[in-house]
């Protein structure tokens, strides 16, 4: 049986109260175009729209952050959200003949969740028909979709994620070390981290750790995993060596750091050290950390821009947007497009920005409101806008198999169990073999 959350039709008597609770009325930007006037939800016969994603977003979380707003905005729509679980993955839904109308995917999930299953549809004409102004969006995010879709538009970015560097103020205060600042390079950051790598009172404190998978996937050099021309691995590119030497060898330079890795099965420290154990001073991670992990409520933290490479001054990592896409074969493409139009409207984006979700729009007003409703005050929310976003790298249907050989080796690189040159050589060979195997299927 499909696990789905369903929202039926609200009565007309309830409509006015619901819309006012959602910030309706005179809110600017209810239109995703350029007029600034609010559009009413489409009227007429009831329509049922089914939404899914390979992200496996928990139904209660999705209901709170998205569905509750859609329900209020579109009282004539019935929304079914199918959470990805065993038996409800996209292939299962297709095999069962389940109608699918909307699919939301991160840029890393587009291939597996939308393109490879054959559900990708170019919505360029629908965008024109529904008067959606693409100039309102952060251009890198639109370019990212085109990079993944061979120049087409399968969907529009509703949310963005960038990388930033969070820090535990209590640890800096404990050891009398100055807080990090916006605009620091990796060299400066790693020097700072050395001051926090220390063992005291039986506790090993760690200077810094980085989300390994994402620093590779979102690398600021915009290196793809698969060369779009040769269809082979790019791990022979010298810039991969620069990234690995700087980040993974840099964060684990201290022997006590590597000794700690040995106690956690030779893995690079991650979220638990920062959020739960609180023995890590700095953590480079996504912009959604404050809103996605309640442990942040119990930490004395702040945030600065992610460190940059000296060869790329002012350039941060690539963005990691979430796109909302209309499934090929949907019987309700116009209604689905109205949903997307609302999600990218100033109205919804302003609300989401205030609670701590990074907007996909260029609007300075919405960006300035970022984190305004977050319970902790005096947070440096501007840190997420300091670095210029790196261009999104070309995407390939073979990214999954091409990525794995390197991500499997990063712990060994950090622990010095394998040198960077050997790791890249092995990863390149394994990736090319995996790509060839995929092509032969």
pLDDT for residue 82 is more than 90: yes
Q: Within a 10 A sphere around the Cβ of 265, how many other Cβ atoms?
A: 7
pLDDT at 99: 96
Q: What is the pLDDT of residues 200-259, one digit of tens each?
A: 999 999 999 999 999 999 999 999 999 999 999 999 999 999 999 999 999 999 999 999
* Fold exhibited by the domain 163-318+398-440: D-Maltodextrin-Binding Protein; domain 2 (3.40.190)
pLDDT at 57: 87
pLDDT at 44: 53
Sketch the domain layout of the chain as residue ranges. Answer: 4-158+321-385, 163-318+398-440
Supply φ then ψ for residue 164, to 5 degrees: -145, 175
CA distance 250 to 239: 16
Find tokens 């949903």 and name the residue: 339
Helix locations, 314-441, DSSP H? 333-343, 346-355, 364-368, 399-407, 410-414, 420-440
- Domain 163-318+398-440 in the same topology as domain 4-158+321-385: yes
pLDDT at 42: 52
Q: What is the pLDDT of residues 291-320, one digit of tens each?
A: 889 899 999 999 999 999 999 999 999 999
The pLDDT confidence band at residue 8, using thresholds 50, 70 and 90, is very low
Give the whole-number percent of the chain exceeding pLDDT 70: 90
In this structure, whether the domain defined by 4-158+321-385 belongs to CATH 3.20.20.140 is answered with no
pLDDT for residue 7 is more than 90: no
Burial class (CB in 10 A: 0-12, 13-18, 19+), 341: buried
Q: What is the pLDDT of residues 260-298, one digit of tens each?
A: 999 999 999 999 999 999 999 999 999 999 988 989 999
The number of residues making up the chain comes to 441
pLDDT at 46: 83
Is the separation of the CB atoms in 118 and 402 below 8 Å? Answer: no
Q: Within a 10 A sphere around the Cβ of 118, how many other Cβ atoms?
A: 12
- Of the candidates 347, 385, 355, the one whose C-alpha atom is nearest the C-alpha of residue 372 is 355
Q: What is the pLDDT of residues 410-427, one digit of tens each?
A: 999 999 999 999 999 999
Helix (H) or strand (E) holding 240: helix 238-243
Q: What is the pLDDT of residues 9-43, one digit of tens each?
A: 333 222 233 223 333 333 333 344 433 333 444 54
Is the separation of the CB atoms in 333 and 103 below 8 Å? Answer: no
Q: How many Cα atoms are found within 13 Å in the side-chain-facing hemisphere of 95?
A: 7
């Amino acid at each position: 049986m499909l696990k789905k959350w369903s929202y039926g039709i609200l009565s007309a008597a309830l409509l006015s109260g619901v819309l006012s609770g959602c910030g309706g009325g005179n809110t600017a930007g209810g239109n995703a175009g350029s007029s600034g006037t609010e559009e009413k939800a489409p009227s007429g016969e009831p329509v049922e729209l089914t939404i899914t994603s390979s992200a496996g977003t928990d139904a209660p979380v999705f209901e709170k952050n998205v569905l509750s707003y859609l329900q209020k905005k579109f009282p004539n729509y019935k929304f079914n959200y199918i959470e990805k679980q065993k038996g409800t993955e996209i292939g299962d839904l297709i095999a069962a003949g389940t109608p699918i109308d909307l699919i939301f995917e991160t840029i890393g999930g587009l291939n597996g969740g939308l393109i490879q299953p054959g559900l990708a549809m170019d919505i360029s004409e629908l965008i024109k028909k529904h008067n959606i102004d693409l100039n309102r969006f952060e251009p890198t995010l639109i370019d990212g979709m085109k990079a993944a879709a061979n120049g087409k538009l399968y969907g529009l970015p509703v949310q963005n994620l960038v990388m930033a560097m969070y820090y535990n103020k209590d640890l800096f205060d404990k050891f009398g070390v100055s807080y990090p600042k916006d605009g620091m390079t990796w060299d400066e950051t790693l020097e700072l981290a050395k001051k926090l790598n220390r063992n005291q009172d039986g506790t090993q404190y760690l200077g810094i750790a980085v989300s390994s998978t994402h620093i590779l996937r979102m690398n600021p050099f915009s290196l793809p995993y698969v060369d779009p021309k040769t269809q082979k691995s790019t791990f022979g590119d010298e810039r991969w060596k620069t990234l690995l030497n700087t980040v993974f060898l840099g964060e684990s330079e201290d022997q006590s750091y590597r000794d700690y890795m040995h106690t956690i099965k030779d893995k690079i420290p991650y979220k638990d050290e920062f959020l739960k154990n609180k023995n890590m001073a700095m953590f480079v991670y996504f912009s959604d950390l404050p809103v996605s992990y309640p442990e942040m409520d119990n930490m004395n933290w702040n945030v600065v821009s992610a460190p940059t490479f000296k060869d790329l001054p002012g350039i941060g990592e690539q963005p990691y947007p979430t796109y909302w896409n209309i499934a090929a074969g949907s019987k309700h493409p116009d209604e689905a497009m109205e949903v997307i139009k609302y999600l990218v409207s100033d109205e919804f984006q302003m609300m989401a920005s205030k609670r701590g979700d990074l907007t996909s729009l260029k609007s300075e007003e919405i960006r300035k409101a970022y984190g305004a409703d977050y319970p902790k005050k005096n947070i440096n929310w501007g840190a997420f806008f300091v670095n210029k976003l790196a261009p999104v790298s070309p995407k390939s249907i073979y990214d999954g198999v091409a990525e794995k050989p390197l991500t499997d080796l990063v712990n060994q690189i950090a622990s010095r169990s394998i040198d960077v040159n050997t790791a890249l050589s092995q990863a390149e060979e394994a990736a090319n073999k995996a790509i060839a195997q995929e092509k032969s299927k």
